[in-house]
A and B are shown apart, each in its own frame.
Chain A
Amino acid sequence: MHRLKKIFATDSYIVPIVAVIMGFIVGAIVMLIGGYDPIAAYSSLFQRVFGSSYDFGEAIREMTPLMFTGLAVAFAFRSGMFNIGADGQVLIGMTAASLVGIKLSGMPTYLLVPLAVIAAGLAGGLWAGFAGYLKAKRGINEVITTIMLNWIALYLSNYIVKNFLLLEGQNRSVDNPASMSMTFLASAFDNARIHWGTVLALAAATFFYLYLWKTKQGYEMRAVGFNPHAAEYAGMNVGRNVVKAMFISGVFAGLAGAGEVLGVFHYQSIFAASPGYGFDGIAVALLGLTHPFGVILAAILYGMLTYGSAGMSFGADVPPELIRIVIGSIIFFIAAQGIVRWVLKPFYFKRKKEKVS
C-alpha cells in the first residue's frame, strides 16, 4: 500500500509523458508482431478523433465521464483512500438523475436540470460516504466496501429502472425530459452529443485544486491522507475527514452519471454489467498522477485513445482491442517508473564507471 501511495503521489511530470510515448511504442511492436502497420493504425486513430467535427465532439463526450471518475479516484487517494467504487457511484448518480428528471418532469427546465444534477452528485456522494463511514466508525477497509457497494448499486439501479421508470417493452427507462445537452453547439459539432457535463468536469477539477490546496479543510484532508497519526495528534478529527473525503469523491462520480443520463443518452438502460467508468477512472487518476489538472489531461488522452480505437480497425484493420495494450503499457510504465528513469538516464547525466585501484 505504501509503495502504491508513493507511485500515485509522485510529482514529476516528465515520467508520464515518456510513459505515454513508450506505451505507443509497445503497441506498435505488438502490431508489427501481429503483421499490422502501426503507422497506418495510429494515423487512422488520430484521423478518427480529429477527422470530423462530429467525431471530435464525440471524443469529448467520451472523455467527460473519465474526467469525473478520474477526479473521484484521485481525490480519495489524496486523502489516503482507494475508492474502487466510483463505478457504483456513477450508477447511483445516473439513477438519481433519472428519478428526479422523470418523476418531477412537471417542473420548468431551468429548475429541473439543476435539481437532477444536484441529486446525482448527492446520491453518489452519500453512496461513497457510506463506505467512508464504515471505515471511520468500524474500521472496515474502503477497498472492500466500495467493491461490494458497486454490485449493490448495479442491482439497485436496475431494480429502480425496472419498477419505476421502465419504458414498456424496452430494456430502458422512459425518456428523461431534463437535458444537459449543449444544443447551441449542435451545428458546430455536427450533432455530436456535447453536453454541460464537460464544463462541470473542468469546474470540478478547479474545485478539487482550490479545495485541497487552498482551504483549511483541504489542509486537514491532506494531513490525514499523508499521516493520520500525526493528524490525530494535532487534534484533527480523522474519521470526519475520511467520511468527507469519500463524500466529495462520490459527488464527482455521481456527476459523471448525471452527464451520461442527462447529456448523452437521455434515458437510463438496464445494465447487464457495470459500465466500467469507475475502473477506467482508476487508470486515469494514476495516469494524471492524482493531480486534478493531470487527471483532466489523462482523461483527454484516455478518451481519445478509446474513441479513436474504432477508427483503427476501420482504417487499418487493426483490432480495436489493441488500444487496450497501449493503455495498459502506459499505466505499466507509470507504475514501474524505474524503467522510465532507466530509459531517461543517459539524457540526464553520465555516470562514472566505478574503478578499483
Chain B
Amino acid sequence: MDGTAGTRVVLLACGSFNPITNMHLRMFELARDHLEDSGYQVVKGIISPVGDGYKKKGLIEAKHRLEMARLASENSWITVDSWEGLQAEWVETAKVVRHHYNELLAHEENNDDVDTVKYAKKRRIEDNYYVSSSSPQNRDGTRLMLLCGADVLESFGVPNLWKQEDIEEIVGRFGIVCITRTGNEPLKFIHQSDTLWKHRKNIHIVQEWVTNEISATHVRRALRRSRSVRYLLPDNVLNYIHEHHLYSEESEQKNTGVILAPFQRYSGASSS
C-alpha cells in the first residue's frame, strides 16, 4: 500500500458503549495489530460514547457510560472523549469524525517541528464541505480512521440511518477499520455498494479469527437476571455498575417507543 509507510493513525470508535466490554477493547487491539502489520503506526485510540439524544432503547445516561469507558481504558493507550456524549442533541458520526480530525490537526500544529500550519489551516477550511476528488487526508500527517464492527458497516444500508454524503466522507476522506468474524459479508457488502467500492482502499477489514461475541446487550441481559458478567468486562467497570445499580428491567425500558434520532432527523418526521 503506497503512502502508508510509517503513516500515523488515530482510531476513533463511536457507539453506545452501554456498557463498554472487553470486546470493545479487543477491537482496538486487533485494529492496531492489523494496521501496524500493514506498515501504519497507530498512535492513539479514542472511545466516543454517543449522547443521550440518540434515544436508543435501554441507553443509560452518558455520564455513566463515559465514566465506565474511562475506567475500562485506564491503563492503556485508549482514551475516552466526551465531546459527543455530553451534547444534548445527537451528533452525526461524520461530524464527530471531523471534530476529532480537527483536534488532531490542532494538536499537530502545536507539537510539530515541521511547519504544517499553512497546510493544516487549508485542510480545516474544507471541513465545512467535502470535496470528493481531494486526497483523503494530509498524506504526511496523522490519519483518523473510524473503528467499528461489521454491523456498523452494514448499517450503511439501512434507509434513513445515514446520509449518503456522510458515508462518502467517512470512507472517502477518512477511512474505516472494520473488525469482522466472517470475512465474506463485509467484502460482499462493499462490493455491492458503489460508494464503498470506490473507496475500498480506505476500508481495512480485520478478520477476528477468534470469535468473541461479548455484546453489551448480552451483558445487560445477564445483569438484569443477576447473572455474573465477571471477566466479560473489566472489574472496575463491573464494580461501578454495581455501585450505581445500573442496568435493570427499568433501565432497559428507557426510550421504548421513541424513534431513534437519525430516523427522526432524516425521514423528515416531526419531532415528537
Question: Are A and B physically bound partners?
Answer: no
- Interfacial residues, chain B to chain A (CB-CB below 8 A): none
- Interfacial residues, chain A to chain B (CB-CB below 8 A): none
